Structure 1
Amino acid sequence: MTKVVALGAKTVVPMLDLAVRDDQDHLVAPNAVTLPQALFEGGSEVYGIYDGSTPAGLLALIDFAHDAVKLQTRETRDTLYIWRLMIDANHQGRGHGRAALAFAADLAQTRRRRQIALSVVPDAASALPFYEASGFAKTGRKTDGELELTRRVRSPEDRPIASPVAALGSARSRLKPSARGFPRRHSAPETPHWGLSETALGSARSRLKPSAKGFPRRLELSGSKIPYFDARTTHATLLENAPSLPTSGFSQKNRPPPAACADRQVVPCSPHMRR
């Protein structure tokens, strides 16, 4: 398992024993050069790459947002620069390089940098194909004779726009199927209806008696019956004929005249009455 850890006083010495293959010597500076240089390179950070607990490589970064960094032409503060990346000859081909790039990308995203940059020697034995396969692209510029490559870093604000098909699939996943398997209703929590508060609505529901088909037909309150109770029943009618029903949240519009409520035994509910 690859680990990338910042170097300290006790972990820096083993890095001096790491080396690339002989045919790669001209592609990256040895750690014995990189470590002292990092002391004088503003904004530099040096990390050890480990295979478990065994040193396997070195990663040196420069955060261009650091105040000590003096930007050159076309360099920007929103860049995390991979200054040196080397993997020991005995640990190459095991994914440590990819893990180091992933670490740099995560670090850049955490710090809200917009891109990662690096440079490679234009040589047949260089790691150019490796970097291009990892998402880096040539900028067409050169730094100290080396090819410059950059890779954009996705920030938390860069959220992909869902396609209509994906959005429809997400909505379908929240639908409850009927007996025939066709979506009938959304599973989102019900909201208060008819202007009732949650307390009043819950109290009214608790006194509803379902019919044989499961649809609420009547409401029993204090011995009186209101037949054919449905969603079109107005609150004013309930309020006049069911004094024990909680009044919180009921509308006072369209209250029927007292004469219409003289007989409190049975009061029909007109389907045309609206709130």
Structure 2
Amino acid sequence: MGMSELRIEALSARTIVAVNALSLKPGQEQFVTPVSYSVAAAVTDPRTSWQRVVLDGDEVRAFIHGNFDPSAEAPFSSILWRVNVDADVQGRGVGRFAVHALADEARSRGIEVLHVIYEPGELGPESFFTRLGFTPVGETEYGEVIARYSL
């Protein structure tokens, strides 16, 4: 699988089933949804939500959910809520491709900083986000890490 074959498209009725079927590596389940995501999901506006799938050919390989809400306070004004990469293709640049697409979208909206919130932990996504250039800047009331990426 080469990076050139990957493409991104809006989440649709056709792809949502495949998103729900994405597999995780053992131990990753606990890191999929930080508490803050569940809390914010209740108030996420469909007009500010950015949900995409990464396709390799016709296969859904990843799902990414960002939110851009200029009326919200940081980190919620520009945030990567979720990136799920199928276990079979983790470590092959699919997640990086997805996050770069979200960053491109943020830049196109004139946004200069992207945030992410994640659970700390040995099997968690911290090393992935660090490699992409996110820097921890604080934590939520639930003990999750808040990190930022300058665009």
Aligned match of 1:46 in 47, 51, 55?
A: 51
**Corresponding position of 2:140:** 142
Residue identity opposite 2:20 in structure 1: L
**Corresponding position of 2:8:** 4
1:9 is displaced (CA, Å) by 2.1
TM-score (norm 1): 0.47
1:143 is displaced (CA, Å) by 5.3
Going from structure 1 to structure 2, the CA distance change for 1:64 and 1:51 (only over 3 Å counts) comes to same
State which structure, 1 or 2, has the greater radius of gyration over its C-alpha atoms. 1
2:65 alignment partner, SS class: strand
Mapping for residues 172-183 of structure 1, pairs under 5 Å: none
1:40 is displaced (CA, Å) by 5.7
Identity %: 24
Going from structure 1 to structure 2, the CA distance change for 1:18 and 1:76 (only over 3 Å counts) comes to closer
Residue identity opposite 2:135 in structure 1: A
Matched, 1:56 2:61: yes
Q: CA contact under 8 A between 2:62 and 2:98: conserved in structure 1?
A: no
1:15 alignment partner, SS class: helix
Distance in 2 separating the partners of 1:55 and 1:38:
23
Aligned length: 140
1:104 is displaced (CA, Å) by 1.1
The CA RMSD measured in Å over matched residues stands at 2.2
Residue identity opposite 1:57 in structure 2: A
**Corresponding position of 1:81:** 79
**Corresponding position of 2:21:** 17
Unaligned stretches of 5+ in structure 2? Answer: none
Q: CA contact under 8 A between 2:24 and 2:86: conserved in structure 1?
A: yes
Residue identity opposite 2:24 in structure 1: V
Going from structure 1 to structure 2, the CA distance change for 1:90 and 1:140 (only over 3 Å counts) comes to same
Distance in 2 separating the partners of 1:7 and 1:87:
15
Going from structure 1 to structure 2, the CA distance change for 1:27 and 1:138 (only over 3 Å counts) comes to same
Return the structure number with greater strand share: 2
Going from structure 1 to structure 2, the CA distance change for 1:102 and 1:143 (only over 3 Å counts) comes to farther
Unaligned stretches of 5+ in structure 1? Answer: 154-275
TM-score (norm 2): 0.82
Which deviates the most, 10-19 or 92-101?
A: 10-19
Aligned match of 1:28 in 32, 45, 48?
A: 32
1:113 alignment partner, SS class: coil
Return the structure number with greater helix share: 2
Mapping for residues 143-182 of structure 1, pairs under 5 Å: 144-153=142-151
Q: CA contact under 8 A between 1:38 and 1:45: conserved in structure 2?
A: no
Residue identity opposite 1:41 in structure 2: T
Distance in 1 separating the partners of 2:42 and 2:13:
13
